[in-house]
Structures are given as structure tokens and as C-alpha cells.
A and B are shown apart, each in its own frame.
Chain A
């Protein structure tokens, strides 16, 4: 009874954000992009690009975790394969929603297919992620329906992993190849994306599965504690690596002798950058390396939530870092830092993407039996 009430409340909560999102979409296409976006040519990429990066990298991370079992044969992780794949799929859909709504003229998208520019990183990124959407859907369906030969399953699993890595590094190159904007951090960002996507994936898996376990079994089922302990250690290691990269990013930026890096000096002073580093990485790292915290249910859940939220802020900081410094070194009148804060409507679309993801997850949990094993509560 209590669960039913909670469920109704939850659906109602999602409904509010869905309605707001739909209203914003209608507003975008009837009243024009200037009524929704920050609409400033010096900051062409807004919150929605950050939200796209956030979701697709979460998708990549979740698929990489699924690959531990699907590709590398670590059977201990079998129980989370289905859920991880599903998270990979719905995060990708959420990413596409953010990107699709960012586009000024999505109706022209058919030129993407009939007139491809193979030199463009964005073209490749789109191609990889679209292929992934198809492959992940087939893969998930196979597991759900328990169909498909072992050979085909393996080929699909390997293709998904290769495509994820290709997509992730291409996404990095979308930013990194822009020579005039060194604060996107060139090739560095590709490596950073890889590590941060893994923690994004694990945090999403933790978050979703732990809440389900809480509701269903009032805690992590005994049969799965060892697997979650292993995953927590992997989580700790990759949070540590991501943190290390973040610190290097700051140091490289602060010692760089180019005016554009003023953006970084500015950024490290801001509250959102501090949240990214301290709350989004350091605190969860501490939670995950101290066994007494790591082993607890709430320790894991808290670390997952902090990383999830911290990465959301990180993607935003990353997208802004490349844009907030004007690229005219001789222009006296230009502000040294261009200010930007997302409009309420940009927030609404980002929340819309997240809500769709949460909504799909709720449906998946209800109708698709995301538990691969019959878990025991003993």
C-alpha cells in the first residue's frame, strides 16, 4: 500500500516536469529560440550541450560496466548487465532529446544522412551514437527475451563496447579539436571523458539499483553484496583517477601562458567548480575508500548521488570553460569573462531529458524485469 502511494507520488512528480518540458518544447517551436535560450552569439553552446554530454557519457559508462560481464567474462557482474544496458539505452535517449532540442533547425537533419561531412567530428559522433542506440536496443531485447545465439550476442557486445569508446573519444574531439579554444583542453579531454564516463555509469547504476533494492528488499540482497563491493572498489579507483585528472587540468590551466586560461583562473574560484571538485569527487572518493562507509548502503547511495550531481555540474563547467573567454586578445572593450547562467527554460529542457530518463526507468523497472537473476534476500 505504502509502495503504491509512493509510486503514485513519484509518477505525479515526474508528470510535473514532463508537462513543464512539453510546454517548453511548444514554446521553443512556436515563439522562437530566443524565448528559450540565453541567445548570445558569444556563448553559442548552452546548458543543453552540457546536458547532452552528461547523458551520453553516463550511457557510455553504464555500457562499459555491462561489458565487464558481456565482453570480458567477469560473471560476478552478470546480475547488473540487464539494468546497466537499460540505463545505457535510456541515458542515450535523454542525451538525444537534449541535443535535438538544442538544434536550431532539426527539420534539416535529413541532410545529415544525404550530405555527410566525414571531416566533421560531430558527424562521426552522431553516427556512433545512433548506431549504439540500435545495437543497445537489440542487445537489450536479446537479454530480455533470452534469444539470440551466443556468437551474435558476443559480436554485438564487442561492437557496443568499441562503438562506445569510439563515440566517447569522438565526443572529446568535438571539443578538443577546436584550436581557438584551448580551454576545452585538446586531447586531454578525451582521456578525461573516458574516466569520468565510467564513474558516471557506475553512479547511475548504483543510484537506480540501490533505490530499487531499498524499496523491494530494504537493502542490497545478500547474494549481491560481493558484487557491489567489487563495483564500489572500481568506483573508488575511477573517482580517484578522475580527481587526479581534474587536479591536473587545473594545474595545466593555471600554468599555461595563454590569456584564454584566465577562464580557468576565474572558474576555479566559482562555487560550482568547487562543488564539482570537493562535493562531486573528493567527498565520494573519501566515502568509497573508507571501508566502514563504503560497505554501508547509505555510503554507496550517497557517493553515487554526489558523483551524479557533481558530474552534471562538471559537464556544464567544461562546456563553459571553452566559451567564457572572448577569443580576441587585442579587443580592449571585450569583457575578460563572459557571464552566462542558464535560463529557466534551458533548465526546463535539461530537466525534461532527465525526467524522460527517470520515467523510462520507472517503466523498465515495472514492466521489463531488470533483475537478471532471481535475487535472494537471505
Chain B
């Protein structure tokens, strides 16, 4: 039963991927696929994800703005955060098999080049005697973030909802944050942005981190534009193994899309820990240790 669920989930994800751009950039969503006005069909099809999780192709002229869709915040609103939320991520290391779906979906949504990764999957080994394991590493959205402290122009900032975001319209590209982050969570946009034409004309928001600006810094943003619409970050949705849980500290709840847990219970019962906590950065990403592994560690695995 569980397996079936997974299968259909995978299929769903593959489609979401294709439609991801439409969702991500806040294009008008489909409200009425039968058409709502007299505009003639343009012949230009677009893939979209419906609210019940189906991917459909519709004519561009059939799109209509939905008032309930929350657009990514810009300017001041993007600095304040989503009220009464405190986001948290839990990564279950016992499930990760380096499928790299998280990496790819994140790269796609954030206009990254193939060599750029906001979330990395690293091969880790604690001691020579212990087994290696895969370690997905996003930005930890630290409560006491060194990157925020060192940024001379407040291009990197901490929001009330716990997120640490970057405003590329402000970043001077000094790279101090990159040197100061103890987790090497940041990437620099050295090169001309990838897929530039696709993102042309889209309003920039620190919540989406697109369109990418060359000469500035980027990093995992926890996809707050999706959170505004009660959706999980791209990585969590894409992971076929349900490794990545996302949720709210105030609600003490995290979910990977098909399992929901109390955060406090996971921390206590599964001995969740934070990575290199001795830096005093207070990360908001917890790891469940790689015990009782679902898959044996396989270096060749990459699918």
C-alpha cells in the first residue's frame, strides 16, 4: 500500500517539476479550465498543477488570476516574514539514498547551473569504524547566523519566521558571508544566469531567489513562496524517500508530505541533532541519525 502511494507520489512529482516554474514565479494559476472570458485561444500551452495535484495542459489565454494565491513577497514584506510562523526542517539520514531529486528540483526552481547546489548531498562518515551515510545539507537558517552579522549592507537578513534570506538587489558581492558561514551553505553567481530567457520579466523576490543576478550570492531559501501557499519546499516534495520534513516550530509539527510528526517527539525519541552546534549559530535544521537504515549505503546509487 505504502509502495503504491510512493509510486503515485513520484509520478506526481515528476509532473510538478514540469509545472514548477508556473507555480514558482507566481504566474496566474488556473481557476477555470473551461475558459472564463471571450479571449480566443492562443495555441500556446502551459503545464500547470491543479489544487488536487493533477498536472494539466491549458491554453495561456485560459488563465485567470486567483486572489487566494499568495504571491512571493517583495520589498519590506519580504523582510518581515510570514506572521506567527517559525520554520524548521528535519532531515532523516536513515532514509537518504542519494537519489538527488532534492538537488535537481531545487536547481530547477532556483535557476541554478548544474554545478551550483543550494542543497548538497554529501558523503559523510563520522569515524573510520562507522558506516558512511548520505547527508543532505541545505542552509540551516541559523537563529544566530554569522552570515547575517557580517553582511555590510543587510542584503542577508533574518526574518521573524526564522528564515535567513538574501536580497540580491542589495548584495554587493563581497563574499564575506560565504567565508563566514561555518557550513559552506552559500554559492556565488559567478557566471551569467542559467535559463535567462525563461526568467526574463519576472519580478525578483528574495523569497524565490529568482531571477538570479550575476555577481551576487545565493543560498537555500526554504521556499517561503511555497510556504505562503501551504506547500512544502521543492526539495521536500521532490524527495522520493521522504527524507526531508518541513514544518513549524510553533505548531511543533513537521511533515514530508505523507507522514506528519511532532517535532519535539522526533527530537526526543529519535535523538535528533544539529550539525556542528558548537559554533553557537543555532541552526533550524535537525538531523535524525543514520540508524536502522532503509537502504544500505551504496556509493553507486544515484537514482
Query: Which of these binds chain B: A41-49, A194-202, A284-292?
Result: A41-49
Q: Which residues of A contact B202 (CB under 8 A)?
A: none
B182 contacts A34, C-beta separation under 8 Å: no
Say whether A119 faces chain B, with CB atoms less than 8 Å apart: yes
Residue ID in chain A nearest B150 by CB atoms: A120
- Report A85-125 residues with CB < 8 Å from chain B CB: 102-106, 108-109, 111-112, 115-117, 119-123
- A122–B181 touching, CB < 8 Å: no
| Inter-chain contact B182/A179, CB cutoff 8 Å | yes
Among residues of B, the one whose C-beta sits closest to the C-beta of A32 is: B192
Is the CB–CB distance between B149 and A119 below 8 Å?
A: yes
Is B150 touching A180 in the complex (CB atoms < 8 A)? Answer: no
Contact with B along A199-231 (1 / 0, CB 8 A): 000000000000000000000000000000000
Interface majority SS on A: helix, strand, loop or mixed?
Answer: loop
Q: A118-154 toward B: CB 8 Å interface, digit per residue (1/0)?
A: 0111110010000000000000000000000000000
B186 interfacial by beta-carbon distance below 8 Å? yes
Is A178 an interface residue, CB under 8 A from the partner? Answer: yes
The reply to whether B152 and A122 form a contact with Cβ atoms under 8 Å apart is yes
Q: Is there contact, CB below 8 Å, between A41 and B172?
A: no
Q: A44-B188, A115-B154 are in contact. Are A180 and B172 (CB under 8 A)?
A: no
CA of A178 to CA of B186 in the docked complex: distance in angstroms?
Answer: 15
| Chain A residues, CB < 8 A from B178 | 41, 44
B294 vs chain A, min Cβ distance (A): 21
Q: Is A353 an interface residue (CB 8 A)?
A: no
Pick out which of these stretches binds chain B: A236-244, A327-335, A369-377. Answer: A327-335
Residues of A participating in the B interface, judged by any CB pair closer than 8 Å: 32-34, 37, 39, 41-42, 44-45, 102-106, 108-109, 111-112, 115-117, 119-123, 126, 174, 177-181, 322-323, 326-328, 330-333
Where the two chains meet, the residues of B that have a C-beta atom closer than 8 Å to any C-beta of A are 122-126, 132, 135, 146, 149-155, 169-176, 178-184, 186-192, 213-217, 279-280
Besides A104-B214, A120-B151, A332-B125, 15 more A-B contacts (Cβ < 8 Å) are A32-B214, A33-B215, A41-B188, A104-B174, A105-B216, A108-B171, A111-B153, A116-B152, A117-B149, A117-B154, A119-B150, A178-B146, A322-B179, A327-B183, A330-B126
